Amino acid sequence: MALEDYRAMMKRCSRCSYCKWIPFAHVKSWRFAKGCPSVEYGKFQSFSASGKFAVSLALLEDRISYTDGLLDIVFQCMLDGCCDLSCKVCRYDLEPVEVMRQLRFKLIDDGQFPFQDIPLIDNLRKEDNTMMMPKAERGKWAEGLDVKDLTQENGEVVFHAGCRFSYDEELWRIPRTAVTLLRDAGVDVGILGRDENCCGGRLCDMGYRGEFLKYAENNIDAWTTAGVKTVVTACSDGYHAFKRLYPSEMNFKFEVLHITQFLDRLIREGKIKFTKKVPMTITYHDPCHLGRRGEPHVPWSGEQKKIRGQVLIYEPRKPRYNGATGVYDLPRNLLKSIPGITLVEMERNREYAWCCGAGAGVRERYPEFSSWTAGERIDEAAFTGAEAIVSACPHCERNFTDAIADRSGAMKVYDIVDLVREAL
Amino acid sequence: MALSREVYEALEAIVGPGNITEEPATLHAYAYQWMAELVSDVSGGSKFFDRPEAVLVPGSAEEVQAIVKACNRYKLRFHVYSTGWGPWAAPPAKDQILLDLRRMNHILEIDEQNMFAVVEPYVVAGQLQAEAMKRGLNNHISGAGAGTSVLANACCFQGGGPDCIYFASPQDSILSIEWVMPTGEILRTGSLGSGLGWFCAEGPGPSTQGIIRGALGGSGGWGVVTKIAIRLVHWPGPAVMPIEGTVPSYGSPLPEDLFRAAFPAFPSWQAYADAIYRIYDSEIGYIAHRQFVMWGDELQAAFLKIVTDPTRQLCDLQELLEEPEVQKLAEEMRRNFQLILAGMTPRDLEYQRKVLDQILRETGGWNIAAVDEPDLQRYVLLFMIKLCFKNLNFTATGGFIDTYNSVASPDVWASGEIEAGKALLKKYAGRIADAGDQAMGPVSGQGGGGVTGWEDFLFYDPQDPDSAKAAVEVSDEGDRLKAAQGRPPGGMLLGLARATHADERLRAQKLAKIAEYRWQRKLKEALDPNGVGSGNYFWGAEPAQGKDESSETAELPSV
């Protein structure tokens, strides 16, 4: 598929602005009714999903050409997908996120990218990570851990750390704990360490589809060679890449689990038992790529048809990616099972959660916007009375931590894995 | 024509550099609109109307005032919008700037005791409702739904909706106004004009209700309304409506002793009309609207099955239409409307339910049993109270207009117009969706009752030129049929889209046949001597000397 294939969709947008808000059914206040960070920060209509339908159409119809302003419109957006969800509350025939992805692919293919990408992509091509770090240091996070090296021996489960966890030293405690928990529970788990590749998911959202495909193929080759059956990650970006993107692009036979899903399995099997109280009031932030964008890929091949004259249908039934089957309850249930934890909800949660601001390269390309978006979420978390915001993604956690530091805030940031460790 | 650097810099100095843009991609986003493809003499059949020369996002009435004064100084025309949904939101012609009021988005006050709120233009109905409900209050929501501006619906556009029977029409709910007039002066109307607060529209300060609002509002042609006070009504429900269900099939389990959704249905249109009179007389009902027929009387039952089941899709439509249960429900719903009863106390609800039962007995009607099924009850209550699913109007094909509307006393339902509208749509079925009668409208457009009617929907595919052409043909034929009866045109949405984007001189000549619009021209000239306010406004030219000045409406649709 290419942007051109979505031309009809671009003409069917009603420009109703639902994409700017959380679903109106869920609006509980004036303050937290907005759903799209991009248009709230960018202000102009073009920054909304509806605006991007219009911009895409104008581009295809040669009404506009590339400018720096156009690049900002396209790339100053986390592709968090709240617009997509809100649109699909009523529309069964529009795919806002897919159009925005295709728009990015087109721009990158045409050599149009934000100047901020230059060092990142240069480094990526040399060092295979999005963190501007040397490849040689990728496995450093696991030093001293007694865990299988899957480049040397086979294992049933691979723990994929991902770029952020591999290089963000302050966060190393999380993948180290995760791997230890799995290993101690008797799971045949290993890592690829220095030879682990970027998952490519973030690159794909940034528009670099070619790089994404390269990394996807490399990862699948490495897992196949190591006899892997199950891929576990504590990174929601990685989860989305493996669960949704890889199967949509290539033959994919691996079970994919987010660490919260695996921990839940181990708790239910009695292999992890909590022994300590963690007395804390927390709120849970749904990572976009584990929640509404974390729905599994469902193969489909078919066409759009009309019945009753003009009513648009897909034949055969086309899978709807509207956030309904994202991972929402399981992390909450896991948190609630920890003794002492009181879980309170933010107004915007589950499929209509506000984004952390880190996704799709925005943290690197537009740091002020990224920080503002995170700050909005921190404000919302504080509104609940929680003393900590808990998530299940290193990108969310890094962005929240930095935004709190920028604001001299007191809110604490944890990964679910942190709290599980505390309760053991 | 691009703005001169002098003008651009003057505007930029008012709003700040981040709040003005000439970026071509952004300007196109403001030119893109629903229905543009139908006004093909302007859009060339594309999705784009004329693009603005620049877009500004002012943050205060003072900035708006400074912009308007600059426009007068430089003889620059401005167009303005709040949420910007609809063809009238796009600039009506070239060489205009556009003011997007999205930064003016605050609820300034909710006066619980006196039951009103003061809001800026970009406060949408869903936001105000959420805050009002926390205080036991509620606000009118336009038929266009929760995502539309409270202020614009009250002051600048038609703005009616399903709740008018209890909440009153929006024009009757406006209290004081802060208005940046087309000259840049700020006028504060009603009690606000005398420094006495926001509570009254008509005095002791100046009253401009008839001018600022009238029947349809100024559609952005009267300067910029920057704040209004709007009347609120009682809300007997919880502070936050509970929401259940999986996207998109949400529902609200409201207390059963205070709320009930009913689908009164009737054996004939005469019985339907009689029931409406009785509802007016008995003063029951919180919200009353013939809503779900927007999907067509032949499809509405199947569509209800789809939207209330998250596993369903439009591809299930044909299969559902063949199910006996759905066919039975469709037949039952042929002449029905949705009625939300809200009791201020359980006894009040009980009383209203008994009154409804009596009305149904007296008119031979019935309440459709399916609505008592809990999931449907929860869905309908949520839909009607929050109007949070109104974009379902576009679900079937991606585009709709209304075509054969009627607004009158309840007898209009029994006038044969419903069948005439349905026959018109059937004639074009295939090129437009084949859905049957799509006459959707309020049981009352006024508080307490008095006027009812409908919009006759039509679903077309905006990306299919023949379907779009058919939509225009249906609308035109409908208008001709109405004209032959000496009645006003039926297609409001396309009529407004065409009227607001037609050549101004031509439009003025046509509208000159209507006395009201000639008067509006006189007002426009008095209030906007430099003609900088948007041309998106209905005003008529001076008639040629010696011509009859009596009101005439038949040629309006040819504008």
The torsion angle over the Cα atoms of residues B143, B148, B151 and B155, rounded to 10 degrees, is -50
Query: Phi first, then psi: what are they for B262, rounded to 5°?
Result: -125, 150
pLDDT at B550 over 50: no
Tell me which chain B residue has its CA closest to the CA of residue A39.
B102
**Is B32 within 8 Å of chain A by CB?**
yes
Tell me which chain A residue has its CA closest to the CA of residue B318.
A307
* Residue with the larger pLDDT of the pair B205 and A401: A401
Give the model's pLDDT for residue B209: 80
B39-98 tens-digit pLDDT: 998 899 999 999 999 999 999 999 999 999 999 999 999 999 999 999 999 988 889 999
Q: Which of B48, B84, B398 sits opposite A312 (nearest CB)?
A: B398
Give the model's pLDDT for residue B92: 86
Give the model's pLDDT for residue B545: 53
Q: Indicate the pLDDT class of residue B541, thresholds 50, 70 and 90.
A: low
Residues of A in contact with B147 (CB under 8 A): 16-18, 21, 24
Sequence-ordered strand ranges (E) for B319-451: 338-342, 366-367, 399-402, 406-408, 439-442
Give the model's pLDDT for residue B544: 54
Give the model's pLDDT for residue B535: 72
User: In chain B, pLDDT over 70 holds for what percent of residues?
Assistant: 94
Distance from CA of B412 to the nearest CA of A (A): 29
The answer to whether the CB of A199 falls within 8 A of the CB of A157 is: no
Site of tokens 């948190």: A335
pLDDT at B243 over 70: yes
Distance from CA of A420 to the nearest CA of B (A): 29
CB atoms within 10 A of CB A245: 22
Give the model's pLDDT for residue B554: 38
Give the model's pLDDT for residue A400: 98
Contact B389 A93 (CB under 8 A): no
Among candidates B438, B433, B423, which has minimal Cα distance to B470?
A: B433
pTM tops 0.90: yes
For residue B465, the SS3 value is helix
Among candidates A43, A18, A27, A33, which has minimal Cα distance to A376?
A: A33
Q: Which of A33, A59, A312 sits opposite B127 (nearest CB)?
A: A33
Pull the structure tokens for residue B257. 């002793």
Residues of B in contact with A64 (CB under 8 A): 24-25, 28
Give the model's pLDDT for residue B549: 47
Tell me which chain B residue has its CA closest to the CA of residue A12.
B398
Give the model's pLDDT for residue B552: 44
Contact A16 B313 (CB under 8 A): no
Query: Phi first, then psi: what are they for A96, rounded to 5°?
Result: -55, -45
**Is B127 within 8 Å of chain A by CB?**
yes
pLDDT at B517 over 80: no
Contact B102 A46 (CB under 8 A): no
Length of chain A: 424
pLDDT averages per 10-residue partition of chain A, 424 residues: 96 97 98 98 98 98 98 98 98 97 98 92 92 96 96 97 98 98 96 96 97 97 98 98 97 97 95 96 98 97 97 96 97 97 98 98 96 98 98 98 93 98 96
For residue B158, the SS3 value is coil
Return d(Cα B310, Cα B250) in angstroms, integer: 9
Contact B127 A28 (CB under 8 A): no
CB atoms within 10 A of CB B358: 12
Distance from CA of A76 to the nearest CA of B (A): 14
Q: Indicate the pLDDT class of residue B117, thresholds 50, 70 and 90.
A: very high
Point out which residues pair with B81 in neighbouring strands. Answer: B100
Give the model's pLDDT for residue B542: 63
Question: β-strands B54-56, B77-81: how paired?
Answer: unpaired
Q: Indicate the pLDDT class of residue B540, thresholds 50, 70 and 90.
A: low
Lowest-confidence segment of A361-365, A419-423, B189-193, B503-507 by average pLDDT: B503-507
Residue B227: which region, alpha, beta or left (left: phi > 0; alpha: psi -120 to 50)? beta
Q: Which of B18, B26, B315 sits opposite A69 (nearest CB)?
A: B26
Give the model's pLDDT for residue B13: 98
Return d(Cα B209, Cα B40) in angstroms, integer: 35
DSSP secondary structure of A305-361? EEETTTEEEEESPPPP-SSTTSS-HHHHHHHHTSTTEEEE--SS-GGGPPP-S-GGG
Residues of A in contact with B143 (CB under 8 A): none
DSSP state of B326: H
Distance from CA of B232 to the nearest CA of A (A): 16
Tell me which chain B residue has its CA closest to the CA of residue A94.
B398
The answer to whether the CB of A34 falls within 8 A of the CB of A68 is: no
